[in-house]
Amino acid sequence: MAAYIARRLVWVVFLLFAITLITFILFSVLPAGDPAVARAGRQPSPELIESIRHQFGLDKPKPVQFINYIGDILPFVGHNGVYFGFSYTNNAEVLPQILDRLPTTIFLTAGAVVLWLAIGIPIGVISAVKTGSWLDRLSMGVALIFISAPVYFLGLVALYLFDDKIGKFPVLPGNSAYGQAHSFPEKAEALIMPWCVLAASFAAIYARFLRGNLIDTLQEDYIRTARAKGLSERRVVFRHGVRAAITPIVTLLGLDIGILLGGAILTETVFNIPGIGRYAYNAINVSDLPVIQGTVLFGAFFIVMMSLIVDILYAFIDPRVRY
Amino acid sequence: MSTGTGASDLLQAEDSGIDELVAGEGPVAARSPLQLFWRRFRKDKVALAAGTFIVLLVLVAIFAPLIRKVFDIPNPNDGNTAALDDFGLPSGPSSQHWFGVDDLGRDIFSRVLDGARVSLLVAFVGTGLSVLIGVTMGMIAGFYRGWVDTIIARLVDVLLAFPVLLLGLGLASACSTKDGCLGGALEPGLKVVITIIVIANWPYVARIIRGQVLSLREKEFVEASKSLGASNSRIIFREILPNLVAPIIVYATLFIPANILLEASLSFLGVGVQPPQASWGQMLSDASTIFQSAWWYMVFPGLALLFTVLAFNLVGDGMQDALNPKSSRSR
């Protein structure tokens, strides 16, 4: 077990290094534009560009730049305490800007996760137990529609129908409401619509996934044994079936949470929620490469970390896994 | 003697009965996996309907310029200021503009048609290239094994553990600055989107194919072919590849809707297909500022996207059931 965790940790360190290298190539080698010019603003003097180039080490060869870049993002090493560099647009430090927005993104993610598990798991179990029933067909049909609909289209439709200012049936705060909310209940209310929209497709994916797994599990010999020894159907399904069928969901859930924590960029964009995703979107619009780079690295970090946590967690919750 | 003839008569009768039975079924033909697959697939009416929809959509996309000419529909990038009201707000569906116009007075039906071309092009080319690379890599790794396999499998592991989509977003935005990427070689737009799709998809294909090849290469028919002196290339292309056709088609069908959504999302974020070229994702992005007054601008591209992705998902599900009849979905 310890050896397994150690192997995973080495793998994670390697992955993080590879991600750092790729983002460096993406943002410092590939773009044809001169970053010093981009930072200098409108109509800069050649001297200003030169001084910026020197200040940020852009006059050094690329490998040296890469080593400096690693130094810039390593915790406790950082470039004079600055970690992800500075934004092109307002020269603000990128990392504090991201961290400021993290609670919003966590709040959005957490609410959506609770909602989609609460919807997806019961539907998946019922559909699997009553395979072929009208309930199963209906819920799987609806699930496929939600899987096929992009979240921004669902979001726009939800705003059009239910937004309290512009909607046809004004019931919920929607567009930009989170940024204007002050108290916690107001913020939670502002997120009801984004939560529902974000949770819809995930609930559909989880319901389909769990249904498939549970149907396969219920065909296993040990389920027949459990039935044969006279256990109640409820006990067979829940203690023997669902418990085994639900473990792969942990993997799915871990990765999805990792992706969303890195910025639910589409949802945050549609509802104008000031989280990490919206920050990245705004940066994309003005080609603010340091900010995009920061958010990409931050998001990649979450995904890699969540997959590490999932792998280790798996060893504990699934007694069948041996290392 | 009589009993003997009786017995032989009986035998005769039985034989003819069997002959009749067999004749009634028609000649017994060996069915290839692909034929079996088709026989099961065509029983799934929903998937067949979705497949018909896709065929129609492809035809519409191919013949979009002709359709525009026949029905006298304006070009996708021609703005008709007469269709905007005094405040510059677009007008809704009418006999002249079936789906209404956008904020620049451009015909939305015409742009949705053009969006279909982009979506399908990106999805088919992107998926096709991913499958090509993935199958090649997977077959090399699975067939030759050894150090080649180790390198490819490790590369696949790294790419699968990677947040490829996030980095794809990074690549798209880095290349969406006005100067492009690689000294202008990788311009923003279709090329970047397809590159991202290929990078994100081929590892999945390679892993699936590698697993299949690893098991196929141990099968008796491959051994038989080998003992008859067949060359490696003959074994790969004539023995193994035909057995991979069905899974390749199924996985390609499952990748296409995901790639359509990916293209739309990148375009929605402004780093995919570049204006003025119409794309569904970008139209939804433009619509998000005026959707409360112009619902048609959001509804039609959105529904086009939804129906297209849904149709591919339905066909993909149907194909998966047909390929693997014991799978959970078919029960």
Give the ipTM of the model, two decimals please: 0.86
Higher pLDDT, residue B95 or B60: B60
For residues B204 and B102, which has the higher predicted lDDT (pLDDT)? B204
Q: How far apart are alpha carbons A299 and A261 in whole angstroms? A: 7
Q: Which of A41-55, A86-100, B317-331 has the lowest mean pLDDT?
A: B317-331
> A169-178, A183-192, B22-31: which has the highest mean pLDDT?
A183-192
Output the pLDDT for position B261: 92
| Interface contact B233, partner A, CB < 8 A | no
B312 neighbors B54 (Cβ within 8 angstroms): yes
- Write the DSSP string, A38-59: HHH-SS--HHHHHHHHHHTTTT
According to the model, what pLDDT value does residue B130 have?
A: 94
* Distances, alpha carbon A276 to alpha carbons A107, A260, A297, in Å: 12, 10, 12
Query: For every residue of A248-278, which 3-state class applies, written as one string?
Result: HHHHHHHHHHHHHHCCCHHHHHHHCCCCHHH
Interface membership of A150 toward B (CB under 8 Å): yes
Residue B4: per-residue pLDDT: 42
pLDDT band at A77 (very low <50, low <70, confident <90, very high): low
Distance from CA of A174 to the nearest CA of B (A): 13
Please judge whether A148 and B257 are an interchain contact, meaning their C-beta atoms are less than 8 angstroms apart: yes
**C-alpha dihedral sign at B289, B292, B298, B303:** positive
Q: Between B50 and A171, where is the model more confident?
A: B50
Asked if A153 lies within 8 A of B310 by C-beta distance, the reply is no
pLDDT, mean of residues A96-120? 92
Residues of A in contact with B287 (CB under 8 A): 156
**Closest Cα in chain A, distance from residue B324 (Å):** 13
Per-residue pLDDT band for B178 (boundaries 50, 70, 90) equals: low
- Inter-chain CB proximity B163 and A153 less than 8 Å: no
pLDDT category at A124 given cuts 50, 70, 90 is: very high
Of the listed ranges A117-131, B68-82, B258-272, the least confidently predicted one is B68-82
CA gap A72, A23 in Å, rounded: 13
Least confident range of B192-196, B223-227, B319-323? B319-323
* Matching residue, tokens 């969540």: A306
Contact between B305 and B312 (Cβ < 8 Å): no
The tokens 């116009």 sit on which residue? B101
Q: Flag the least confident range among A109-123, A169-183, B110-124.
A: A169-183
Interface test with B, best of A137, A156, A166, A291 (most B CBs within 10 A): A156
pLDDT, averaged across chain A = 84
| Contact assignment for A15 to B158 by CB distance below 8 Å | yes
- Chain A interface disruption, residue of B46, B156, B169, most A CBs within 10 A: B169
Q: Which of B48, B250, B243, B269 is nearest to B131 (CA)?
A: B250
Q: Which of residues 175-214 of B touch A (CB under 8 A)?
A: 175-184, 186
pLDDT band at B327 (very low <50, low <70, confident <90, very high): low
Mean of per-residue pLDDT scores for chain B: 80
Using a CB–CB cutoff of 8 Å, tell me whether B256 touches chain A. no
- Contacting residues for A33 by C-beta, under 8 A, at least 6 apart: B177, B178, B179
Cβ atoms < 10 Å from Cβ of A275: 30
pLDDT score of B118 more than 50: yes
Residue B140 near chain A (CB below 8 Å): no
Which pLDDT score, from 0 to 100, does residue A283 have?
86
Angle CA(A50)–CA(A43)–CA(B172) in degrees, nearest 5? 80
Read off the pLDDT of each residue in A55-71 and give the average, rounded to a whole number: 75
Tally the C-alpha atoms within 13 A of residue B156's C-alpha that lie toward its C-beta. Answer: 25
User: What's the average model confidence in pLDDT over B271-276?
Assistant: 82
The yes-or-no verdict on residue B172 having pLDDT over 60 is yes
Residue A199 has pLDDT above 90, yes or no: yes
CB contact at 8 A, B203 and B158: no
Residues of B in contact with A309 (CB under 8 A): none
Is some CB atom of chain B closer than 8 A to the CB atom of A147? yes
Other C-beta atoms lying within 10 Å of the C-beta of residue A219:
12
A261-308 pLDDT tens trace: 877 889 998 898 999 989 888 888 887 888 888 888 888 888 888 888
A 229-258 residues with CB < 8 A to B:
258
Within 8 A of B44 by CB-CB distance, chain A residues are: none
**What does the pLDDT read at residue A198?**
92
pLDDT confidence of residue B9: 44
Whole-model pTM: value is 0.85
